[in-house]
Amino acid sequence: MSSNGSKRGLRRRRATFDADGEGWIVTYADAITLLLAFFVMILSVSDLNQGKIEALKEGLASIISGKEAVTPFNDIKDALDDIVQQHNMKDNVAVDIDMKGVRVEFSNFSLYDSGSASIKAEALPMLKEVTEVIKSTSHETHLIEIEGHTDDVPIHTERFPSNWELSASRASNVVKYLMSKGVDKERLKASGYADSRPKVEIKSGEPISEDDRAANRRVVIYVRRF
């Protein structure tokens, strides 16, 4: 072999030699990028479940950092579950993680009297503890949204001409309570839906039981990302 050919071969070998032993970083970074792209693709074609997104983000962070991560939404749910259990309110208050985030559903019975938007005095101790959990475990990037829902029975009073006003007033009163306990108003949102989003669907022409109507009367507190 000529001396020129030997030199060219030597240059090629030198070009692929990793003097610092850090070539694996490039491969590792490529793998992480492909992994992230894969999850983005999966999320783009599926329903966005805020709870699952939180878990995914924390899981990826723990893989990259090597440290165990805690999912904020799970922290909030666990703390709220403890409050519900302590107050023996599992029949009237439900806590879970759904497509929006952490959901706390209060039956109408647990917060209000029929046809009223004033929070019952006996509900205030528990609502106070729920507020403290939201303040201590949620983040400034979390929106707290309160939804008011009624059943399909019409109401027509001087204060509440329809269920729209009643549901909105109930949600607004919870917002006002949270504000009074120090939750920033910029993070709060109140929505009244009347009977437009029933928990138990009402089929036209079919009777609805009082239990189903009671299920539709509810207030929901969501903790979710902005």
Are residues 97 and 181 part of one domain?
yes
Residue range(s) defining the domain that contains residue 110: 72-225
Question: Where a domain ends, among 23, 46, 65?
Answer: 65
Are residues 183 and 97 part of one domain?
yes
Domain CATH number, residue 210: 3.30.1330.60
Give the span between the Cα atoms of 39 and 53, in whole angstroms.
10
Give the span between the Cα atoms of 189 and 143, in whole angstroms.
8
Give the span between the Cα atoms of 167 and 162, in whole angstroms.
9
Whether this prediction's pTM lies above 0.75 is answered by no
Collapse the DSSP code of 207 into the 3-class scheme (helix H, G, I; strand E, B; otherwise coil) and give the result: coil
Are residues 78 and 61 part of one domain?
no
Are residues 125 and 29 part of one domain?
no
Length of the chain as a residue count? 226
Nearest of 173, 191, 93, 193 to residue 133 by alpha carbon: 93
Whether 182 and 137 have beta carbons less than 8 Å apart is answered as: no
Are residues 55 and 89 part of one domain?
no
Pair of tokens at residue 183: 């939750």
Give the span between the Cα atoms of 76 and 70, in whole angstroms.
11
Please list the pLDDT of the chain residue by residue as tens digits (226 residues). Answer: 555 555 555 455 455 545 555 666 667 777 788 887 777 666 554 545 555 666 666 556 556 655 555 567 888 899 999 999 999 999 999 999 887 789 999 998 899 998 999 999 999 999 999 999 988 877 777 899 999 999 999 999 999 999 999 999 999 999 999 999 999 999 999 999 999 999 998 777 778 888 899 999 999 999 987 7
Are residues 154 and 137 part of one domain?
yes
Are residues 14 and 81 part of one domain?
no
Whether 104 and 76 have beta carbons less than 8 Å apart is answered as: no
When divided into structural domains, the chain yields a total of 2
